[in-house]
Amino acid sequence: MRILVTGAGGQLGSDLCRLLDAQSQVDNPRVRAWCGLARSELDLADAAQVRAVIADQARPAKIQGGLVVINTAAWTNVDGAESDEAGAYAVNATGAAHLAAACAQAGAALVHLSTDYVFDGDATKPYETDDPPAPVSVYGRTKLAGEEAVLALCPESYVVRTAWVYGRTGGNFVKTIARLARERDELAVVADQHGSPTWSADLAAGLLDLVTARPAPGVYHCTASGETTWYGFARAIVAALGQDPAKVRPTTTDEFPRPARRPAYSVLSARSWLDAGLRPLRSWDDGFAAAFAEFGAELRG
């Protein structure tokens, strides 16, 4: 097959491209060719450009086992979406619809990345794929609209929800905590939001497993195993920096207001992933330890 990665300049997209480049150096009978496109090369808000790019990618794919598009492009500024819903909708919803329609026309499969923010966070056990969505932020609403468009427009589509992703590229929670730990004697981090910190390279490997196995189309959840809080994650980061994790103190969401409401509980069940015969991602703490051991310089910011 031929794989096209959209949003190739982002955290997950760049890790997917690195993984696919490594795969191209070994004998992988399924992945015959791949291409990664950044936003400057493919703007999902431009329907004509999307159609042209997918058609162009589909032509060589006819002799390469078919085209699979992995869409990691998204508006991810959660707080910024509150003041620019139209901008977030253009990428997360309308852009996803453009891509799904183009994939359907070209006979391509589409893997679309989504988020825990489609849920309200009021649960007390991990969310299943068929639990009813109820987003509480503009970002969550636009991502849910994107999910719905993808599933409606592209017969062979996979919506993969993930959460709390961090990686080598761009800004993220790990780099922010590392910077603040250098600057401050004490850090206050919310302890009433629960989730599964997910190393983007682990998620990239999981997505490659998905497109190689090609289970039934539908909605899947893919995050690191286990759960913690932002406070617990921050303590792990500070400890990895060689500092005393006691400098991190717990606080509450109410004491740390943000423009967009965050789900209090963002843990996603892996049942759909496991039922499809796919390998689970390793635990969040093992993933973080491995990420920091290999890419500590980048994650320190």
Closest CA to 266 of 215, 212, 195: 195
N-terminal to C-terminal alpha carbon distance within the chain? 36
Residue 73 vs residues 195, 230, 234: alpha-carbon distances, Å: 22, 25, 27
Residue type, 114: S
Please give the full DSSP string across 151-194, using - where no structure is assigned.
HHH-SSEEEEEE-SEE-SSS--HHHHHHHHHHH-S-EEEESS-E
Please give the full DSSP string across 200-253, using - where no structure is assigned.
HHHHHHHHHHHHHH---SEEEE---BS-EEHHHHHHHHHHHTTS-GGGEEEE-T
Q: Which of 117, 139, 158, 265 is catalytic?
A: 139
- CA 199 centroid distance within chain: 10
Distance of alpha carbon 7 from alpha carbon 24, whole angstroms: 20
- CA 291 centroid distance within chain: 16
Active site residue 166: no
Q: Which residues participate in catalysis according to the annotation? A: 139
